[in-house]
Amino acid sequence: DNPVGVAFTFDGSKAYVTNFDEFSVSVIDVATNTAVGAILVENGPFGVGFTPDGQKAYVTNFNAQSVSVIDVNSDAVLTTITDGIGVNPVAVAITADGAKAYVANFDETFVSVIDVNDDAVFAEITVGFAPAGVAIAPIPLK
């Protein structure tokens, strides 16, 4: 219950919907418009984003101070990132080259930067208090 976030795979075949109160992500088959599964994650799943190659999804877990990394082919959690994730992560955006994921931590003053290859936070970007969203330009700016 309490769906919060939704994202579509780049090929348009699946949608992931975060269910805040159920600690899960619903997997939707877009062609049939039906739920075909649920993936258990941590407490309070909120934001979701896919890598451009369609291999992974990143789900922010608001109440758990974590990010679940999901294998899109198997719809299973690969790992959960806690180190370097702040209080109440709400949003995630992934770079066009698929190398980095940026996570907005709502009750902090920083955005966490995840290396997508090893699924670990390697940097923090200081911003104002309570970042509520994050976006990536589709083409790198010069």
What does 71-114 look like in DSSP terms, one character per residue?
Answer: ETTTTEEEEEE-TT--SSEEEEEE-TTSSEEEEEETTSSEEEEE
- What is the per-residue pLDDT for 130? 97
Reply yes or no on whether the pLDDT at 99 is more than 70.
yes
3 state DSSP class of 66: strand
The conformation of residue 128, written as its DSSP 8-state character, comes to S
**8 Å CB contact between 119 and 77:** no
5, burial (CB in 10 Å: exposed 0-12, middle 13-18, buried 19+): buried
Average pLDDT, the chain: 96
The pLDDT tens digits for 21-77 are: 999 999 999 999 999 999 999 999 999 999 999 999 999 999 999 999 999 999 999
Distance CA 19, CA 39 (A): 10
Q: Average pLDDT of 94-108?
A: 96
Ordered domains of the chain (ranges, CATH): 3-126 (2.130.10.10)
If one counts every other C-beta atom within 10 angstroms of the C-beta of residue 128, the result is 7
